[in-house]
Chains A and B, each alone.
Chain A
Amino acid sequence: MQMPPGKPQWWHQILPKSVLIKIALPIIIIISWEVLSVLIDNPFILPSIESVLLVLSEPFADILGSGSLVGNALVSLSRVLIGFIIAAGLAIPLGIGMARNGKVHDFFDATLQVFRPIPPLAWVPLALAWFRIGLLSMVFIIAIGAFFPILLNTLDGVKSIKKTWTEAAHTLGAKERQVLVNVVLPGAAPTIWTGLRVGFGIAWMCVVAAEMMPGTNSGIGYLIITSYNWGQVQVIIAGIIIIGVIGLGIDYLFKIVERKKFMWRELDR
């Protein structure tokens, strides 16, 4: 049944419908959380919102002798960055090579297809066996996680380059290497960027998991698992929120660059 268009309700003046629909679910979750925490009345299962906010309100305070939220997050970020840069440094050249040269493609493709479906975390025991606990094994897992999305998007991006772009460049006198730098790379850049964005997202998930490996002594993943051992569920939740916020923030940065630099991809039709 259709409602007659009546006078807008007074609350629409403060909160337009378009905003209301977006914040409705978060509000429902927060209210249910608070209600449930009162009903359950057990901070080891579901702490109150206030206790989580209390942890979040002091992001630089030491927690259980394991460092602060911010400090551990920065440690995790630096690990991700190392693994991510290694992955990008391998995947982008390899992707370009495979997309441009059939022999390079055939040489690597079958092997990569076998490795691709293996979840990065399945490598954890092997990483421990090979590299022991420490930066190296974490970077290894992060790099594996970020590698495939970057590789596949690079392949895709280079393959999607219009043939006439490279041909036009050739007839305008560009040498093979110049075509690569001035046409292939910029032409594939938007798709490669998407790969980097997805790859970073996965790398960020991997670091948290990698930091839960036994023997680790820093990082946001370590902080969470330690808090679990101490029964500090409010710290676990605060840590999870920090992970989410950082992941979201980095994704947003990627999107801003995408919008500024690669607008032509959407508009060039």
Chain B
Amino acid sequence: MTLILKNIGKEFEQRDIRSPALVSINLEVEEKEFTCVLGPSGCGKTTLLRIIAGLEKPTSGKVIIGGEIVSGPTSRMVMIFQDYSLFPWRTVIDNIAFGLEMKGIGKEERQKKAVHYLDLVGLSGFEENFPYELSGGMRQRVAVARALAIDPSVLLMDEPFGALDAQTRNMLQRQLLEIWDKTKKTVLFVTHSVDEAVFMADRIIVLTSRPGTIKEVVTIDLPRPRDRTSQDFATVRRYVLSLIDEPQSIQ
């Protein structure tokens, strides 16, 4: 299912002063593509993702998924948040089954599916634990399983590993790529880490600082799994960094 962003703009109103956060974003994301949205903090990349998810309305433009205009949250696209946003009163398995339960799927079937996705993220055996009994990395894996369980076409990930330590972060990046490879979902991944974007993405959408607009789209054709210490990786990384660091000339 192709995801198309047409001329997306967003303005926020503060004390009667309209300030633009996003300006004319045009983008087409192919099915099964892994796209990273990279930009400095405050550039509106999270706002962009929330607009795509249908959690916020754009001031102008439209989001189209599979030929349909997005007007609110749709189960074709699921958002994964930085703070995991698991339901703390539900066990791990009931968290994963949440979306299926909302769809009215019977208990037996949703338990079966939930177990499958729990296994996919490598957390078999934690069915009856509560989120507060898990580490941050494990919680985010549960959140990924919960999103996958309703079988969306697109995963929208808002700095999902931003709150984790470097080691866990690297591990989860590798694991997410494996899961992506197995499930063939389209992934739109917001991050402010150049390293993360270069390691994960097919394409990196580099945004300017506020008001955010697309500065450049960098296609990365390094073979996976990528080696962070390789010369090629460093070259791409340096190039993307230069895009971020460049003094901005907006207006």
Q: Do A and B come from one complex?
A: yes
* Contact of A167 (CB < 8 Å), options: B55, B99, B132, B150: B55
| B89 proximity list for chain A (CB < 8 A) | 186-187, 189, 262, 264
List 13 additional contacts besides A167-B85, A168-B79, A172-B75; criterion CB under 8 Å.
A162-B83, A168-B85, A169-B98, A169-B102, A172-B146, A187-B87, A187-B89, A189-B89, A264-B89, A264-B131, A264-B132, A268-B131, A268-B132
Per-residue contact bits, chain B 9-28, to A (CB 8 Å; 1 contact, 0 not): 00000000000000000000
Question: Which chain B residues numbered 100 to 146 have a C-beta less than 8 Å away from chain A?
Answer: 101-103, 130-132, 143, 146
Which residue of chain B has the shortest Cβ distance to A266 in the bound complex?
B132
Tell me if B87 and A183 are in contact (CB < 8 A): yes
* Contact of B78 (CB < 8 Å), options: A171, A178, A183: A171
A173 CA to B130 CA, complexed, in Å: 22
**Which 4 pairs show the lowest CB-CB distances between chains A and B?**
A164-B85, A172-B99, A268-B88, A173-B75
Tell me if A173 and B131 are in contact (CB < 8 A): no
Which residue of chain A has the shortest Cβ distance to B55 in the bound complex?
A167
Tell me if A167 and B98 are in contact (CB < 8 A): no
Give the one of A165, A171, A186, A267 with max B CB within 10 A.
A171
- Classify chain B's interface size: 20 to 34
- Chain B CB within 8 A of A136 CB: no
Tell me if A168 and B102 are in contact (CB < 8 A): no
Which residue of chain B has the shortest Cβ distance to A172 in the bound complex?
B99
Tell me if B103 and A167 are in contact (CB < 8 A): no
Pairs A–B under 8 Å by Cβ, sample size 15: A162-B83, A162-B85, A167-B81, A170-B73, A171-B53, A171-B54, A172-B102, A173-B73, A173-B150, A174-B98, A186-B87, A189-B89, A262-B89, A264-B89, A268-B131
| B130 proximity list for chain A (CB < 8 A) | 264, 267
- Chain B CB within 8 A of A7 CB: no
Which residue of chain B has the shortest Cβ distance to A165 in the bound complex?
B85
Tell me if A178 and B102 are in contact (CB < 8 A): yes
* Contact of A173 (CB < 8 Å), options: B53, B88, B103: B103
| B54 proximity list for chain A (CB < 8 A) | 171
Which residue of chain B has the shortest Cβ distance to A168 in the bound complex?
B85
Question: Which chain A residues numbered 41 to 69 have a C-beta less than 8 Å away from chain B?
Answer: none
Question: Which chain A residues numbered 146 to 190 have a C-beta less than 8 Å away from chain B?
Answer: 162, 164-165, 167-175, 178, 182-183, 186-187, 189
| B residues in contact (CB < 8 Å) with A | 53-55, 72-73, 75, 77-79, 81, 83, 85, 87-89, 98-99, 101-103, 130-132, 143, 146-147, 150, 156
Beyond A264-B88, A264-B89, A267-B132, whether A167 also contacts B79 by CB under 8 A is: yes
Beyond A167-B55, A268-B132, whether A172 also contacts B85 by CB under 8 A is: no
| A174 proximity list for chain B (CB < 8 A) | 98-99, 102
Q: How far is the CB of B113 from chain A (nearest CB, A)?
A: 13
Beyond A264-B132, A267-B132, whether A171 also contacts B55 by CB under 8 A is: yes
A167 CA to B131 CA, complexed, in Å: 18
| B150 proximity list for chain A (CB < 8 A) | 172-173
A183 CA to B143 CA, complexed, in Å: 16
| A170 proximity list for chain B (CB < 8 A) | 55, 72-73
| A167 proximity list for chain B (CB < 8 A) | 55, 73, 79, 81, 85
A186 CA to B130 CA, complexed, in Å: 15
A153 CA to B146 CA, complexed, in Å: 31
* Contact of B99 (CB < 8 Å), options: A173, A175, A267: A173
| B83 proximity list for chain A (CB < 8 A) | 162, 164
| B147 proximity list for chain A (CB < 8 A) | 172
Q: How far is the CB of B3 from chain A (nearest CB, A)?
A: 15
Q: How far is the CB of A166 from chain B (nearest CB, A)?
A: 9
